[in-house]
Amino acid sequence: MPQKQLEYAVRIRSKLEAPRPLLEVLKDLKYIVDDQINQAIRTHREDLRLDTLLLELGLIREEDLDSARKIRAEENSRRNLREILTAHHLLAERKIIDALCQRVGFPYIEPEFSKIDRQLFSRAPIEIYEKHNAVPIRADGKEIVIAFSDPLDLLSLAEFKKFFGDKIQPAVAILESIQGTIKQSKEKSPARHFTPADDESVVHIVDSLILAAVQEGDVSDIHIEPMSDRLRVRFRQDGVLVNFRDYPAEIIPALSTRLKVMCKADIAEKRRHQGGRLFFEQNGRKLDIRISFYAAIHGENIVMRLLNRMSSSLNLEDVGMSPRMLKRFREDVLDRPSGIMIITGPTGSGKTTTVYSCINYIKNPQTSIITAEDPVEYIIDGITQCSINPAINLTYEETLRHIVRQDPDVIVIGEIRDAFSAQVAVQAALTGHKVLTTFHTEDSIGGLVRLLNLDIEAFLISSTVVCVVAQRLLRRVCSSCGAPHQPRAEELQRLGMDPKDLIGAEFRKGAGCAKCRHTGYKGRVAIFEMLVLDEMVRNAILARQMSQEIRMIAMESNGLTTLLEDGIVKAADGLTTLEELTRCLPRLSPPRPLPRLRRILGGLG
């Protein structure tokens, strides 16, 4: 490349408001193309480091690399950069592997202990493999193929050359596969066997897992996953799965049996899926745990959902709606004497919390409220709550047949699951009841479409449904390490926005600290889309117009803001990040400019 072009690109980059990698600037100026970049990288591969590669390719920002280096220094650990980046969700492992394979040209390998050359493996101590996260695979002619987690690490390459000679062919592998192969090799060696009398007994493991999840405070699910060489345990924290601990594979059957005994499932049945529940008490706190056993090839995959049976008050003001949306929700929806109010969203999006907040707002001595839930998650004094229990034939269908005979004013149906529950909700609304329920759809318009798919007539939907609220939970920027952040042009383009549309935005991003487990996020913030059915929307439903047409009518006629638009406002107020919007929210229509959205929503309280 001519020196003048390089100097010009450097000058252009220095004038940019947001820093960008030099390679991106050169590509934008059409001075180079991807094939030239790949060729240059491969020619100088021996002089290249992983952090430099990721930074110059624009896969990671300087501040994220600094966070990874800081974490490594704080932990004083032997973990390499790739381990820290993936473990703390600073960069997806897939992107690192793609860069090493497609850009640098390393072959990709999936190591497995049963298929590697055992004699080759015995050349080096197991501690060397653990230290450098690498394993020898096979002899390919005169070269030894070795799978590395970071094949650009000069120290690792030098160490392996001591045992395998200079003719090494580095390859790339998934870190988890490398570590699994090493663990499996250790298990093939004489080692301590697991026994029930051990300190790590099954009873102790189960209790410690639940206690650890409770103590973390933000764990919604425990995933117990048998693998070919070990048992992996992960926690879902703030909506994201994070590794907790690995256990020897030999405890899988005993742990599965222990949990089946606790939740009264069939311990002899291992070929079919099962479910159960148990109650766990600790320091006066009662936890309802739903357990799912899924028959898989390496054993039963177990997921434990933690349901906090709290009796504390849930205020509608605390759910996270913007001021004008909240005012309209109270006055035009909850204060209505009858009709169906639907809260929709995927599992774990906070629907139940919003429903209970609505119940707390509606509840008064003159109102009879009755619920059918699976299960009861929050206990509220002054209302009648029923927890579904199919084991004794207390099913949704049976409960809903009797619920209207209890002379209720407000009926809460935990979830509309089928045509029968949808018909019950509609009939109750037609006879003057107020109905609160939940759905699993992508957005508010999807809730109406789903009712049509359940064979509910369009005229019944338009005459009974008052409102559909769609919601999501996004991770909140950590208050301890959050700092002002300037988004890159690529981030805005993915959301369909220009910098001129974001006047007045104050984006923030967490650098990572001990309080947020170096993720940059702590807690979650709710994002809402509220569709209140007015005359124009009802007419569109009766005409069976397309969902996109109904959405545009609602945006023009009654101030509907989409999930993405509400997310943009909250990200612009520093509550969450643009990465979270991209990860969690549907992008069904281009968002409107931020100043206009703030006028519609009235800002945030």
CA-closest candidate to residue 1, choices 28, 33, 24, 48:
33
Work out the percent of the chain whose per-residue pLDDT is above 70: 90
Q: What is the pLDDT of residues 146-196, one digit of tens each?
A: 999 888 888 888 888 888 888 899 999 888 888 888 887 776 654 434 444
CA pair distance 436, 413, nearest whole angstrom = 6
What's the number of CA atoms in the CB half-sphere (13 Å) around residue 82?
25
Which structural domains are found in the chain, ordered by start?
A: 1-32 (no CATH), 113-188 (3.30.300.160), 202-308 (3.30.450.90), 316-475+525-567+592-601 (3.40.50.300)
Torsion of CA 456, 530, 310, 478, to 10 degrees: 140
Average pLDDT over residues 592-600: 91
| Cβ atoms of 414 and 435 closer than 8 Å | no
Q: What is the pLDDT of residues 400-414, one digit of tens each?
A: 888 888 889 999 998
Range in 329-333, 356-360, 385-389 with the lowest mean pLDDT:
385-389
* Residue 464 burial by Cβ neighbours in a 10 Å radius (0-12, 13-18, 19+): buried
Range in 232-236, 242-246, 353-357, 450-454 with the lowest mean pLDDT:
242-246
Range in 115-119, 173-177, 290-294, 547-551 with the lowest mean pLDDT:
115-119
What's the number of CA atoms in the CB half-sphere (13 Å) around residue 503?
5
Average pLDDT over residues 274-278: 88
CA pair distance 444, 251, nearest whole angstrom = 45
At 42, the pLDDT band (50, 70, 90 cuts) reads confident
CA pair distance 330, 317, nearest whole angstrom = 10
Highest mean pLDDT among 90-104, 184-198, 532-546: 532-546
CA-closest candidate to residue 448, choices 435, 466, 471, 424:
466
Of residues 319 and 76, more confidence is placed in 319
Residue 7 clears pLDDT 70, i.e. is over it: no
Of residues 374 and 569, more confidence is placed in 569
CA-closest candidate to residue 25, choices 50, 63, 58, 1:
58
| Cβ atoms of 120 and 147 closer than 8 Å | no
Q: What is the pLDDT of residues 182-221, one digit of tens each?
A: 887 776 654 434 444 343 578 888 988 998 888 887 888 9
Average pLDDT over residues 20-27: 66
Helices and strands in the chain, H and E counts: 25, 18
Question: Using H for helix, E for strand and C for coil, what is the string for 383-443?
Answer: CEEEECEHHHCECHHHHHHHHHHHCCCEEEECCCCCHHHHHHHHHHHHCCCEEEEEECCCC
Range in 23-27, 445-449, 600-604 with the lowest mean pLDDT:
23-27
Q: What is the pLDDT of residue 9?
A: 66
DSSP 68-125: HHHHHHHHT----HHHHHHHTTSS-HHHHHHIIIIIT-PPB----GGGS-HHHHTTS-
Q: What is the pLDDT of residue 434?
A: 94
* Residue 406 burial by Cβ neighbours in a 10 Å radius (0-12, 13-18, 19+): exposed
Q: What is the pLDDT of residue 8?
A: 66
CA pair distance 413, 417, nearest whole angstrom = 10
CA pair distance 25, 6, nearest whole angstrom = 10
Of residues 229 and 223, more confidence is placed in 223
Highest mean pLDDT among 26-35, 272-281, 381-390, 577-586: 577-586
Structure tokens at 100: 């090493």
Q: What is the pLDDT of residue 19?
A: 62
Residue 3: what are its φ and ψ, rounded to 5°? -60, -35
Q: What is the pLDDT of residue 197?
A: 39
Of residues 109 and 341, more confidence is placed in 341
Residue 13 clears pLDDT 80, i.e. is over it: no
At 247, the pLDDT band (50, 70, 90 cuts) reads confident
Query: Do the strands 230-237 and 240-248 form a parallel or antiparallel pair, or are they unpaired?
Result: antiparallel
Beta strands across the sheet bearing 168-172: 134-140, 143-148, 168-172
At 315, the pLDDT band (50, 70, 90 cuts) reads confident
